[in-house]
Amino acid sequence: MKNFFLFASALCTFLGLSAQEITSPDGKLKMNFSVDSAGCPTYSLSYCGKVVIAPSHLGYQLKPEDPTKMTDFDWKTPAAAENAVVRRADLQTGFNVETTENATHDEVWTPVWGEESSIRNNYNELLVHLSQAKNERKMDIRFRLFNDGLGFRYEFPDQKNLTYFTIKEEKTEFALNGDHKAWWIAGDYDTQEYEWQTTRLSEIAGRMKEAVAPNSSQTPAGPACVQTSLQMKTDDGLYINLHEAACIDYATMHLDYDQTNNCFTSHLTPSASGDKGDLQTPTTSPWRTVIVGDEATDILASRITLNLNEPCQIEDTSWIHPTKYIGVWWEMITGKSTWSYTDAVSSVKLGVTDYDKVKPNGRHGATTEHVKDYIDFAAEHGFSEVLVEGWNVGWEDWFGHQKDYVFDFVTPYPDFDLKYLNDYAHSKGVKLMMHHETSASIRNYERHLDAAYTMMNEYGYDAVKQGYVGDICPRGEHHYSQWLNNHYLYTIKEAAKHHIMVNAHEATRPTGICRTWPNWIGNESARGTEYESFGGNPVNHTTILPFTRFIGGPMDYTPGIFVMDLSKWVPGNTSKVRSTLARQLALYVTLYSPLQMAADIIEHYKEKMDAFQFIKDVPCDWDKSLYLEAEPGEYIVTARKAKGADEWYIGCSAAETGHTTDIALDFLTPGKTYTATIYADAKGTTWYNNPEGYVITTRKVTNKTVLKKLQAASGGGFAISIK
Ligand code: NOJ
Ligand code: CA
């Protein structure tokens, strides 16, 4: 590969503009760009001389015009007909470099909330202006090289021969130079709720069947198709992560693996038409990102996804606040209570049934009395919001039928006193959190959105959890298609007008848009805690998520389960949470989110108030985050400083083999003495043996203290507060 770079720079001298090289600000990363003999844009990337991306092609296949569907206008004259063909020719070959522009950028910006209170955005940029002489068309490619990786995107300027166009497929390649270890989930246009696979690249195709097994009704998007963010590790210890940033008005990207060429190629989510997206110039693609580091912790510390998004578009952000919440939720997920008011599924129809006249099933969760208990508990223990699911009519038949009309989002069940509960909550300094399960019925939600948000304003709700369970209606669309991606952002922008924060479940995976729209405070888009009730998440799950799903932005993982054997309180649920209690605490630190739920039922917290203290204390907004140690699928140790306070919190989450470590507290303020409270796995505790066993110890510490031999058990962890 070294030869390639020598070759590339020599070529540069001979060919002038057609070969370009830029380096990262620290000089460790090098990106080479050239146009090959067929006129195909080509790039490669190296880190300290090691190949990250071998020469890889860039471009698009466009959808050719179907002559039988062309309008008279298209065919009026031979010139127009010729033009119609030109406008739809592929954007892959025949390119020349017209001009290039270089720039350097270095700024520090302040996120509304985050893992740190200021973020440096420092890169060297190369903008390549390409022209396709034959078709008189232009396409630009903008590369940004940071110390922690590369971002690049396509830009389509305003021009005569490229105005409206339909993507047949984006053909962005990521060629690799080894059979890397990879952490991946199966390609799927509708869900990320899969178990992570850990294999060599060459094993992806062979593992596909197993990879979709937990959701066996799903068909993988391709024989060796994976989702991003994809984490890889080379045999010589480089960590490489592929994802995307700012996926706006565009379909979500998957990656097809071609073993013969050891290369991933982009694979966009189709819309109902089967096409991969419709664009109008001037426009841009999302950024494609390659994060690189020689330590696993470098991947966790990267801010590329956020840096490649546009600055905040909301002028007054004072109403956006990191939120810790409890909820009437886990009891429904586990099957202890129901979202619906009655069991009479077939006889209940939204807008037709008089709910006052149907027989309640006696197991409805969202009752006025029950929610009041949650409000009291939240007020007493410092939680700012209480999520209530199943408060609104329609849950009797909400799932699986792709109905155009499901919920109206404004009518409460007869046993949920909307006004009284909001008044009661506000009188205690607490807010209710709204729940909009859309059942993936998109037009139904859009029809009701304004009325629903207006009602939230009327009663004083400032946050909504959305849900997109099920196949999309209108039929044929996908959760990750361009139209759906536009829908999610539309709801965020509408919510911003109403000063409402949004937490979207089952929506497409995040790509850092929360920088631009920080009222998009949460997303699920992966297997969350709910799967601990459907058979359990793999023990290493939470040690992979920060390297994959979290690269796009925070996740509403909903940790905090204190009773691991669900059969103890839910008749018929034999699921066991595959984690120790101490690890449940650690997740509040290792899984960053400005929205954190204490997910268990309040009775379980009342029984273990000493351990619950950590959840009460831990903040969800930070000045600083230090990624002390990590290996995907094995362990993560993170330390974070609370925003605006001299308090630190440490979390360690470990997979099957556990983790033992010493932590030097040299990040504490010199000369100050703090009290450290350590919540650790009890002796003999593992995720499969006495998982609820924990010990709490306190000691005085300073910045000279080294906490020795801290131990996380198998599927265990530890959490430390330092105040
Ligand atoms: C799936 C969500 O992830 C879960 O949190 C929610 O309770 C259900 N859908 C119902 O909306
Ligand atoms: Ca879900």
Structure token pair of residue 606: 């009342």
Say whether both 520 and 541 belong to one domain: no
Q: pLDDT class for 669, splitting at 50, 70, 90? A: very high
Distance 400 CA to ligand 2 centre (A): 14
Mean predicted confidence (pLDDT) in 501-517: 98
Range of the domain at 84: 2-307
Give the pLDDT of residue 66: 64
Mean predicted confidence (pLDDT) in 521-532: 98
Kindly report the pTM of this predicted structure: 0.95
How far apart are the C-alpha atoms of 517 and 497, rounded to whole Å? Answer: 11
Say whether both 428 and 495 belong to one domain: yes
Mean predicted confidence (pLDDT) in 546-565: 98
Q: What is the CATH number of the domain that holds 70?
A: 2.70.98.10
Q: Kind and range of the H or E element at 585?
A: helix 581-590
Distance 522 CA to ligand 2 centre (A): 13
- Whether the pLDDT of residue 129 is over 90: the answer is yes
Ligand 1 and 465: CB distance under 6 A: no
* 122 falls within a domain: yes
User: Which atom from ligand 1 is nearest to the alpha carbon of 329?
Assistant: 7
Ligand 1 and 276: CB distance under 6 A: no
Say whether both 665 and 626 belong to one domain: yes
- Which ligand has the shortest distance to the CA of 440? 1
Say whether both 289 and 388 belong to one domain: no
Say whether both 550 and 455 belong to one domain: no
Give the pLDDT of residue 6: 39
Mean predicted confidence (pLDDT) in 656-666: 98
Encoded amino acid at 26, one letter: D
Give the pLDDT of residue 244: 98
* 601 falls within a domain: no
Ligand 1 and 437: CB distance under 6 A: yes
Q: Which range among 78-82, 147-151, 260-264, 550-554 shows the weakest confidence by mean pLDDT? A: 78-82
Q: pLDDT class for 216, splitting at 50, 70, 90? A: low
CA torsion through residues 9, 11, 16, 20, sign: negative
Distance 328 CA to ligand 1 centre (A): 12
φ/ψ (deg, to 5) at 181: -75, 140
* 599 falls within a domain: no
Q: pLDDT class for 349, splitting at 50, 70, 90? A: confident
Distance 402 CA to ligand 1 centre (A): 17
Mean predicted confidence (pLDDT) in 331-360: 87
Say whether both 156 and 191 belong to one domain: yes
Distance 433 CA to ligand 1 centre (A): 14
Asked if residue 246 lies in contact with residue 511, where contact means CB atoms within 8 angstroms, the answer is yes
- Please name the residue whose Cα sits nearest to atom 3 of ligand 1: 505
User: Which atom from ligand 1 is nearest to the alpha carbon of 558?
Assistant: 5
Ligand 1 and 193: CB distance under 6 A: no
How far apart are the C-alpha atoms of 559 and 575, rounded to whole Å? Answer: 16
Average pLDDT over the chain, rounded to whole? 94
Distance 520 CA to ligand 1 centre (A): 17
Q: pLDDT class for 301, splitting at 50, 70, 90? A: very high
Q: Kind and range of the H or E element at 444?
A: helix 442-459
Ligand 1 and 331: CB distance under 6 A: no
Give the pLDDT of residue 713: 98
Region of 274 on the Ramachandran plot (φ > 0 left; ψ -120 to 50 alpha; else beta): left
Structure token pair of residue 240: 């490489």
Structure token pair of residue 77: 């004259």
Give the pLDDT of residue 577: 98
Give the pLDDT of residue 78: 67
User: Which atom from ligand 1 is nearest to the alpha carbon of 505?
Assistant: 3
Q: Which residue has the tokens 């108030």?
A: 609
User: Which atom from ligand 1 is nearest to the alpha carbon of 333?
Assistant: 7
User: Which atom from ligand 1 is nearest to the alpha carbon of 524?
Assistant: 3
- Looking at 264, 284, 307, the residue that finishes a domain is 307
Q: Which residues fall within 8 angstroms of residue 352, CB to CB, at 6 or more apart? A: none
Ligand 1 and 389: CB distance under 6 A: yes
- Whether the pLDDT of residue 651 is over 70: the answer is yes
Q: In what order do the strands lie in the sheet with 164-170?
A: 60-62, 164-170, 278-280
Among 530, 532, 634, 692, which one carries the catalytic annotation? Answer: 530
- Whether the pLDDT of residue 526 is over 70: the answer is yes
Encoded amino acid at 525, one letter: S
Say whether both 203 and 298 belong to one domain: yes
Say whether both 520 and 550 belong to one domain: no
Say whether both 126 and 211 belong to one domain: yes
Ligand 1 and 140: CB distance under 6 A: no
Q: Which of the listed residues 192, 339, 389 should we mutate to test ligand 1's pocket, taking the one with most ligand atoms within 8 A of CB?
A: 389
Question: Per residue in 537-573, is it b (16+ CB within 10 Å) or e — as a string?
Answer: bbbbbbbbbbbbbbbbbbbbbbbbbbbbebeeebeeb
Say whether both 361 and 464 belong to one domain: yes
User: Which atom from ligand 1 is nearest to the alpha carbon of 332?
Assistant: 7
Percent of the chain whose predicted confidence (pLDDT) is above 90: 88
* 564 falls within a domain: no
**SS3 (DSSP) at 293:** strand
Q: pLDDT class for 688, splitting at 50, 70, 90? A: very high
How far apart are the C-alpha atoms of 504 and 530, rounded to whole Å? Answer: 15
Q: pLDDT class for 213, splitting at 50, 70, 90? A: confident
Give the pLDDT of residue 4: 38
Percent of the chain whose predicted confidence (pLDDT) is above 70: 94
Q: What is the CATH number of the domain that holds 453?
A: 3.20.20.70
Encoded amino acid at 134, one letter: K
Distance 487 CA to ligand 1 centre (A): 19
- Looking at 262, 281, 307, the residue that finishes a domain is 307
Q: Which of the listed residues 465, 530, 561 should we mutate to test ligand 1's pocket, taking the one with most ligand atoms within 8 A of CB?
A: 530
User: Which atom from ligand 1 is nearest to the alpha carbon of 389?
Assistant: 7
Give the pLDDT of residue 14: 44
Q: Which range among 183-197, 340-354, 359-373, 666-680 shows the weakest confidence by mean pLDDT? A: 340-354
- Whether the pLDDT of residue 237 is over 50: the answer is yes
- Please name the residue whose Cα sits nearest to atom 8 of ligand 1: 467
- Please name the residue whose Cα sits nearest to atom 6 of ligand 1: 467
Mean predicted confidence (pLDDT) in 267-294: 97
φ/ψ (deg, to 5) at 306: -70, -45
Mean predicted confidence (pLDDT) in 481-505: 98
Ligand 1 and 505: CB distance under 6 A: yes
Query: Which ranges in 72-120 belong to alpha helices (H)?
Result: 72-75, 78-87
Q: Which of the listed residues 191, 338, 505, 506 should we mutate to test ligand 1's pocket, taking the one with most ligand atoms within 8 A of CB?
A: 505
User: Which atom from ligand 1 is nearest to the alpha carbon of 339?
Assistant: 10
Q: Which of 450, 489, 499 lies closest to 321 in space, CA to CA?
A: 499
Q: Which of the listed residues 192, 333, 466, 468 should we mutate to test ligand 1's pocket, taking the one with most ligand atoms within 8 A of CB?
A: 333
Q: How many domains does the chain have?
A: 3
- Looking at 307, 338, 373, the residue that finishes a domain is 307
Say whether both 303 and 322 belong to one domain: no
* 393 falls within a domain: yes
Distance 549 CA to ligand 2 centre (A): 14
Asked if residue 366 lies in contact with residue 392, where contact means CB atoms within 8 angstroms, the answer is no
Ligand 1 and 469: CB distance under 6 A: yes
Distance 420 CA to ligand 1 centre (A): 25
Q: What is the CATH number of the domain that holds 713?
A: 2.60.40.1180
pLDDT tens sequence across 8-66: 343 444 445 779 999 999 999 999 999 999 999 999 999 999 999 999 999 999 998 76
Question: Per residue in 333-371, is it b (16+ CB within 10 Å) or e — as a string?
Answer: bbbbbbbbbbbeeeebebeebebeebebeeebbbbbebb
* 598 falls within a domain: no
Asked if residue 336 lies in contact with residue 570, where contact means CB atoms within 8 angstroms, the answer is yes
- Is 530 one of the annotated active-site residues of the chain? yes
Distance 605 CA to ligand 1 centre (A): 22
Ligand 1 and 467: CB distance under 6 A: yes
* 677 falls within a domain: yes
Q: Which residues fall within 8 angstroms of residue 339, CB to CB, at 6 or more apart? A: 332, 365, 366, 389, 390, 395, 398, 437
Say whether both 386 and 476 belong to one domain: yes
Give the pLDDT of residue 67: 58
- Whether the pLDDT of residue 7 is over 70: the answer is no
* 562 falls within a domain: no
Ligand 1 and 524: CB distance under 6 A: yes
Ligand 1 and 628: CB distance under 6 A: no
- Which ligand has the shortest distance to the CA of 558? 1
Distance 525 CA to ligand 1 centre (A): 11
User: Which atom from ligand 1 is nearest to the alpha carbon of 435?
Assistant: 11
Kindly tell me the burial class for residue 266, based on how many C-beta atoms sit within 10 Å of its own C-beta (0-12, 13-18, 19 or more): buried
Question: Per residue in 428-450, is it b (16+ CB within 10 Å) or e — as a string?
Answer: eebbbbbbbbbbbbbebbeebbe
Ligand 1 and 288: CB distance under 6 A: no
- Which ligand has the shortest distance to the CA of 503? 1
